[in-house]
Amino acid sequence: MLHETVVGRVQLVGAGPGAADLLTLRALRAIEGAEALLYDALVSEEILALAPAHCLKIQTGKRAGRTSMKQETINRLMLRIARRGLRVVRLKGGDPSVFGRVGEEAAFLNAHGIETEVVPGVTAACAAAAQFNFPLTHRKQARRVVFTTARIEAGALQADWSAAADPETTLAIYMGGGAAEELSRRLIEAGRSASTPAVAVESAGTPAARLRRGVVGDLARLVADGEGGPVLLVIGDVAALAHTGEVLDEVEELRSAGGRP
């Protein structure tokens, strides 16, 4: 009697910015049904706790600037576990399709006969905009959004920043904290005004999130006193609209007292 070959399956799931109530229902169901969970360093304990008690949990790291498991090792690990017939969830912070290497992982697994499913999640820029009350696009101010990273190779900032010169473009820069000073210089050289509004959001979408407001000319100051969380920089006129709940409370108090905000 021939034995049927077990063909595995891997779900590449976006965990969102960290808060469990920002998971999609599909992501929640995937985590609750996981038999093996390979998760990135930014995935919160609150979300990890949703996995079954018997689930095999493996942290893969993947935190910018810190020691982490090599991508090739992660690929082989997913493949080996999936071939054992386990329900594998590869859990990534934010959205797996936004700087999450989901294309590389899916291509590797598919090439080895493993079926994949991508489950989207809330990415940091969207979480920051919602948390601090500003839009990413806005009529007559921002017609487009560019998601990019502050990638440094051989000690220099990479990428063509000419598209960032458009004053109606909102620029969301992931992992930008360590390159803030050079980003400021490169953006100004590309034609973006030094007085363009900018915000730095640390740990976007989590209870520990912090907002700092300024302009392109002082990006380095915005990130100078960070607490080690991932930093997202948002640049454009919409950044001037960012505010915290405390600001809203102050405005409401003024209105109640008969004053003007």
For the chain, give the secondary structure using H, E and C.
CCCCCCCCEEEEEECECCCHHHCCHHHHHHHHCCCEEEEECCCCHHHHCCCCCCCEEEEEECCCCCCCCCHHHHHHHHHHHHHCCCEEEEEECECCCCCCCHHHHHHHHHHCCCEEEEECCCCHHHHHHHHCCCCCCECCCECEEEEEECCEECCEECCCCHHHHCCCEEEEEECCHHHHHHHHHHHHHHCCCCCCEEEEEECCCCCCCEEEEEEHHHHHHHHCCCCCCCEEEEECHHHHHCCCHHHHHHHHHHHHCCCCC
The answer to whether residue 170 scores a pLDDT higher than 80 is yes
152 with 231, same domain: the answer is yes
- Range with lowest mean pLDDT among 83-92, 157-166, 208-217: 157-166
On whether both 169 and 223 belong to a single domain, the answer is yes
Q: Which of 85, 119, 153 is the last residue of a domain?
A: 119
Q: What is the pLDDT of residue 89?
A: 98
Which of 108, 99, 124 is CA-nearest to residue 200? 124
Domain count, the chain: 2
- Token pair in block for residue 143: 């017609």
Q: For position 130, what pLDDT does the model report? A: 96
pLDDT score at 249:
46
Q: Is the pLDDT of residue 160 over 70?
A: no
- CATH number of the domain where residue 14 is located: 3.40.1010.10
Higher pLDDT, 62 or 34: 34
pLDDT digits (tens, 9 = 90+) for 92-147: 999 999 999 999 999 999 999 999 999 999 999 999 999 999 999 999 889 999 99
pLDDT tops 50 at residue 12: yes
- Tokens at residue 238, please? 């919409």
224: in domain: yes
Greater model confidence, 198 or 258: 198
Q: Assess whether 175 carries a catalytic annotation.
A: yes
Tell me whether residue 190 is in a domain: yes
Domain that holds residue 148: 124-245
Confidence category of residue 33, pLDDT binned at 50, 70, 90? very high
1, 21, 62, 218: which is the annotated catalytic residue?
Answer: 62
Domain boundary residue among 81, 101, 119? 119
Q: What value does the mean pLDDT take over residues 82-91?
A: 96
Residue among 1, 40, 78, 166 flagged as catalytic: 40
In a domain, 3, yes or no: no
62 a catalytic residue: yes
**Among candidate residues 119, 153, 173, the one where a domain is terminated:** 119
Q: What is the pLDDT of residue 8?
A: 78
Q: Are residues 241 and 157 in the same domain?
A: yes
pLDDT at 211 > cutoff 50: yes
Residues 131, 241 within the same domain: yes
Tell me: pLDDT of 5 over 80: no
| pLDDT (0 to 100) of residue 2 | 44
Instruction: Check if 160 is active-site.
Output: no
In the numeric block, which tokens belong to residue 131? 């948390």
Q: Pick the catalytic residue: 78, 92, 95, 175?
A: 175
Q: Are residues 131 and 91 in the same domain?
A: no
| Residue 4 pLDDT level (bands cut at 50, 70, 90) | very low
> Cα(261)–Cα(37) distance, rounded to whole angstroms?
49
The type of residue at 141 is Q
